[in-house]
Amino acid sequence: MADAATQKIINDWNAAYLGYLAETLAKKILPPAAKETIGVGEVKVLSQPKPASHKGDNGTLLIIGGNTQYHGAPLLAAKVAGKIVDIVYFASTPQNNLLAQKLKARLLEFITVAEKDIVKYIQKADVVLIGPGLGTDKKSAGFVKDFLKKYKNKKIILDADALNVIKPKQLHTNCIVTPHKREFHKLFKLPATRDNVFKMAKRYGCVITLKGRIDYVASPKELKINTTGNTGMTKGGTGDVLAGITAALACTNDNFLAACAAVFVNGLAGDRLAQRVSRYYSATDLIAEIPRTLQWCETYRLPRIS
């Protein structure tokens, strides 16, 4: 049975779900609240490993990021992704690739990639996450620009510093971008509003996750909102955790579904932590809570109308 705090978190979603059933049965219409609010349902329809699957069948992710100042960001993304997908590779841009070698001792569950092998591992990966701790120098900017131009058929999640070195016209249909309000304004030269998020997703054909007290996730065809999360998630590193979850889920799922499920699970994990320790938790605590939250969502029984 769900604890009180977790149950409270999904009450609004349940109300929308019940409303949907009632309206559908009576009038054959879908209430806006049920259609737009992200909930447990998004997690329940995520791809699940097949019983006969082998290593690599359930997701291979490459993370490119980190520099000498911000080496923790890609580490957080890699740690949470490693709980979801089969294989996580880690590399830095060529000028920062020494960092990957230095972090080997802390990346025991992951594979560090040498500079000369980056292209080979890009091809192996289902998804590439670029940006956590990357830096905004000219060489990093050039690397991201060239990557977007060359790998249009590769699923790419652009987070953090990667958002500060690109132009909107470089985005394509396989991209997910995960800005907060300031990053959104800087990238698109527009206020970070619900309507503008949807407008930019349609214009550039990508998926956009606008992080905030209320998260907005938009594809060119639809927009959804997420209300999980709390003030404890303003701490450094929680965005890197979200990027790692999003990238991991995108390995085996549609980009929009992956982005929706990721913000819900990330926020719900924070809410479950807040029930126990208020806002006094870290990004590392959040990572540890993600598997329990995913399991809870998968086993939660949606209400029925008799």
Q: Provide the pLDDT confidence category of residue 304 given band limits of 50, 70 and 90.
A: low
Range with lowest mean pLDDT among 46-50, 171-175, 245-249? 46-50
Closest CA to 258 of 197, 174, 160, 196: 174
In whole angstroms, what is the distance from residue 90 CA to residue 176 CA? 19
pLDDT of residue 224: 97
pLDDT per residue as tens digits for the range 286-302:
999 999 999 999 998 87
How wide is the angle at C-alpha 81 spanned by C-alphas 9 and 65, nearest 5°?
Answer: 120
Closest CA to 162 of 73, 271, 277, 68: 73
Burial letters 176-190, b for 16+ CB under 10 A, else e: bbbbbeebbeebbee
H runs (alpha helix) in 4-137:
4-9, 11-27, 32-36, 40-44, 72-81, 97-102, 118-124
Contacts for 199-207 with beta carbons within 8 Å, 24 or more apart? 200/168, 203/168, 204/168, 204/169, 204/171, 204/172, 204/175, 205/171, 205/172, 205/173, 206/171, 206/172, 206/173, 206/174, 206/175, 206/176, 206/177, 207/175, 207/176, 207/177, 207/255, 207/256, 207/259
Percentage of the chain modeled with pLDDT above 90? 67
39 lies in some domain:
no
Helix axes 238-250, 255-277, angle to 10 degrees: 140
Q: What is the dihedral of CA 282, 284, 287, 289, to 10 degrees?
A: -60
Q: Which residues are annotated as a binding site for AMP?
A: 239
Q: Provide the pLDDT confidence category of residue 140 given band limits of 50, 70 and 90.
A: confident
The radius of gyration of the chain from alpha carbons, rounded to an integer in Å, stands at: 19
Domain holding 174: CATH number?
Answer: 3.40.1190.20
Q: Which residues are annotated as a binding site for (6S)-NADPHX?
A: 73, 133, 180, 240
5 lies in some domain:
no
* Domain span holding position 218: 56-299
pLDDT of residue 167: 96
41 lies in some domain:
no
20 lies in some domain:
no
In whole angstroms, what is the distance from residue 146 CA to residue 93 CA? 12
**Please, what is the average pLDDT of the chain?**
87
Q: Is the dihedral of CA 89, 154, 264, 50 positive or negative?
A: negative
Q: Are 74 and 240 in contact (CB under 8 A)?
A: yes
3-state secondary structure of 257: helix
pLDDT per residue as tens digits for the range 244-279:
999 999 999 999 999 999 999 999 999 999 999 999
Q: Which residues are annotated as a binding site?
A: 73, 133, 180, 239-240
14 lies in some domain:
no
3 lies in some domain:
no
Q: How many domains does the chain have?
A: 1
225 lies in some domain:
yes
Residue 21 has pLDDT above 50, yes or no: no
Q: Are 46 and 249 in contact (CB under 8 A)?
A: yes
pLDDT of residue 301: 82
Residue 140, amino acid:
S
Average pLDDT over residues 169-193: 98
36 lies in some domain:
no
